[in-house]
Structure 1
């Protein structure tokens, strides 16, 4: 399955999944039987890879989502979507979540006018993410902003391209998350 981890390359014909949609090797085209646990584990690993977080962090997000009111799976995705590195990616300042994480770690952004260099900061509705003045001439950021029209910006975010500024309008709901994620499988896995 295509997870769009390689940024711009995933939107071209050079994408490995589009060229060869099976694992490498002699037995790559076989169809192995996968158990129920295997399906659940693969879904969790897929979500971890998409958002680029480690197991301990992911478990923490799950426990936090379990404590919140509402559906645990939807709460989990909402928490993951509101991470600073993901919001930077969604606003189009970076071509991949990995690149967004690096840009955040290198002090290119401010949140509500304050320095923000921790990718896992949870953003709330009303938070303003702005590119620092000295970073506005960085080539990769400008290229990503030009390519954002192809990818689109979610409903829960707002981008002022000329001011290099974005804002979180509301908490993302399940309909806003377009990735092919079955969060119920993750909840079942952690509920064992």
Structure 2
């Protein structure tokens, strides 16, 4: 599984930070082999417009660890919302509870956060949950009720739309997620073009 995560990064041509701490270490395969699996060179054939759109869509999908059906469903909801498709799409992706746990610095990766949710270590508004795809909303409270033994709370920058109580291990949703595709290194317009083709 580890190699599979790393292969996704190599295929995308950039770090997707799927393995937490390993992605920041010298052991990251993207440092020694920054080219797609099965290739021995950083030189790649020029992609068509469709190929570029597909690559960007896959990069975003793998970043959030979603299946194609989940990813497409979120896009369809965003495109039918009457709001900016790219902004609403990013808001939905960021609103997933596994992503919120990751953003709060309580898990080194979204995959780890997803595991915490599936193992029922999380409460949402005082109710135990085990579904990582739940979308949170303003005023929701997320609490870690059974902290993993190896839990390390990151001291990184907390998004403005979240508030974190380190003592109680509680996360409060202050507002709808505010993040731009550029902050994630994702060109959301290419994803729009892919699904609208």
TM-score by length of 1: 0.90
Q: 2-side partners of 1:119 and 1:25: how far apart?
A: 33
Asked if residue 158 in structure 1 is aligned to residue 168 in structure 2, the reply is: no
Asked if residue 11 in structure 1 is aligned to residue 24 in structure 2, the reply is: yes
Bigger relative contact order, structure 1 or 2, given CA contacts below 8 A and separation 6+? Answer: 1
Q: What is the CA RMSD across the aligned residues, in angstroms?
A: 1.6
1:190 is matched with 195
Q: 2-side partners of 1:40 and 1:16: how far apart?
A: 25
69, 73, 88: which one aligns with 1:75: 88
Shift of 1:176: 8.6
Shift of 1:49: 0.3
Q: 1-side partners of 2:184 and 2:57: how far apart?
A: 13
Q: Which moved more, 1:156-165 or 1:10-19?
A: 10-19
Asked if residue 169 in structure 1 is aligned to residue 179 in structure 2, the reply is: no
2:149 is matched with 139
Provide, for residues 128-159 of structure 1, a one-character-per-residue CA deviation record: whole Å limited to 9, x for no partner. Answer: 00011xx13x2232x2x1xx11x322111111
Give 5+ residue unaligned stretches, structure 1.
Answer: none
Provide, for residues 12-31 of structure 1, a one-character-per-residue CA deviation record: whole Å limited to 9, x for no partner. Answer: 22222123322355543322
Q: Taking structure 1 as reference, are residues 42 and 24 closer, same or farther at Cα in structure 2, changes over 3 Å only?
A: closer
Query: 1:38-187 maps to which residues of 2 (within 5 A)?
Result: 38-132=51-145, 135-136=146-147, 138-141=148-151, 143=152, 145=153, 148-149=154-155, 151-175=156-180, 178-187=183-192
When the two structures are aligned, how many residues end up with a matched partner? 184
Quick check: 1:48–1:55 contact (8 Å CA) kept in 2? yes
TM-score by length of 2: 0.88
Give 5+ residue unaligned stretches, structure 2.
Answer: 1-13
SS where residue 184 of structure 2 aligns?
A: coil
Q: Taking structure 1 as reference, are residues 27 and 10 closer, same or farther at Cα in structure 2, changes over 3 Å only?
A: closer
Quick check: 2:87–2:180 contact (8 Å CA) kept in 1? no
Deviating 4+ runs (over 6 angstroms): none
Q: Which moved more, 1:64-73 or 1:95-104?
A: 64-73
